[in-house]
Amino acid sequence: MQNFDAIVIGAGAAGLFCAGIAGQRGLRVLLLDHSDKVAEKIRISGGSRANFTNRDLDPHAPHKHFISGNPNFCRSALSRYTPTDFIELLQRHGIAFHEKHKGQLFCDRSAEDLIQMLLRECDAGGVQRWQPCGVKAIRVDGDGVYELDTDRGPVRSPAVVVATGGLSIPKIGATDFGYRVARQFGLRMVEPRPGLVPMTFDGEGWAPYAGLSGLALPVRIETGDKKARMAFNEDLLFTHRGLSGPAVLQISSYWHDNTPIRLNLAPEVDLPAALARAKATSRKLITNELASLVPSRLADAWVQQDADWQRPVAEASDKALARLAERLSRWDITPTGTEGYKKAEVTLGGVDTRELSSQSLESKQPGLYFIGEVVDVTGWLGGYNFQWAWASAHACALALPSP
């Protein structure tokens, strides 16, 4: 049976980074993954250019950009390994990058550059990588040493790091392995659900908008009651089955079943004033005037819903125009669901942070660590989840006991 100082399960962003740092500390590290490819989530993220961090992250106020049963849990790791630290690593490896907007950083060339950097870091630490290699069973002996039955035979280590991610995008290998390990050792879980996911609608209520697929526009989107209202100013995308785009992905992490979302489809326009001006000066149809304020396809779909809106703007009543402005700026609609894990970018929930040390990510089961997406810490769209992967991996790797 082979012995290691640490075994990392999962060769995604967090697992690769943790293994590399631990190896460079002088630990004998084994990195396992059931897939033959590493870091598929990095490979497909950000249009294959990997939105690898966000400059706007405030590690001292994690509740601004992270969702968790205890949003302050991630403060320790995020403050000790910041976006600046990861940027310096990229620069040492000569990887060019750029900022798109709102602090989001992407590789100039390809996400593959980032993956190769992580593999070089593992090589520099002498990390052994077994892929594909599944783990069939984990147990701990009387001395607190873990024994793993793997597809390549049994291995032993006093430290096991679970970096297996969540349930999102099963086609690239997502499984519930990490959750099963947590439950095996009696650790509490926060019920997982899809996050950063498109929303779906059906029935007669959605019929007027079904033809808008492909239309994108900037909106303000909100959900929740007054006590816990969340709002984002982002782009919205109409799809065949409902709504997507950054606005919907962001709000989806805060949305709960059977509750409405509210959209302002013209957040930069004073619609009542614009329509009042048009009534005083124009002979055009309402739909034509509206098309100068919002996309024409949206204007056409909207005016079809009320006979009072299908006439020249000069002939419309003030009440009808006020109703139109109100409806466009306060469109309340209740999703019937989401596209689920197959389209979700992340998994909300996971291993309960109350079971973990915020300093080391070690669980109440000694020698067993959980990092990255498998933990109940979920970031906003825009590079925040990758930064949690780097930060939690870094904290864990530095805390692993030296041989």
What is the CATH topology of the domain spanning 199-267+332-338? Elongation Factor Tu (Ef-tu); domain 3 (2.40.30)
The mean pLDDT of 283-291, rounded to a whole number, is 96
Question: How many percent of the chain have pLDDT more than 90?
Answer: 96
Is residue 403 over pLDDT 90? Answer: no
Is residue 315 over pLDDT 90? Answer: yes
Q: What is residue 213's predicted lDDT score, i.e. its pLDDT?
A: 96
Residue 278 CB: number of other CB atoms within 10 A?
Answer: 22
Q: What is residue 397's predicted lDDT score, i.e. its pLDDT?
A: 98
Q: Is 283 exposed, middle or buried (0-12, 13-18, 19+ CB in 10 A)?
A: exposed
User: Is 199-267+332-338's fold the same as 271-330's?
Assistant: no
Least confident of 12-21, 224-233, 371-380: 224-233
Q: What is residue 140's predicted lDDT score, i.e. its pLDDT?
A: 97
Residue holding tokens 């933990």?
Answer: 375
Residue 319 backbone class (left: φ over 0; alpha: ψ -120 to 50; beta: rest): alpha
Q: pLDDT-based confidence at 222, cuts 50/70/90?
A: very high
Q: What is the mean pLDDT of the chain?
A: 96
Q: What is residue 321's predicted lDDT score, i.e. its pLDDT?
A: 97
Q: What is residue 88's predicted lDDT score, i.e. its pLDDT?
A: 98
Domain borders along the chain are 2-192+347-399, 199-267+332-338, 271-330
Q: pLDDT-based confidence at 226, cuts 50/70/90?
A: confident
**Structure tokens belonging to residue 205:** 């209520």
**Four-way CATH pick for 2-192+347-399: 3.50.50.60, 3.90.950.10, 3.90.1150.10, 3.40.50.720:** 3.50.50.60
CATH code that applies to domain 271-330:
1.10.8.260
Q: What is the pTM of this model?
A: 0.96
Whether 122 contacts 23, CB under 8 Å: yes
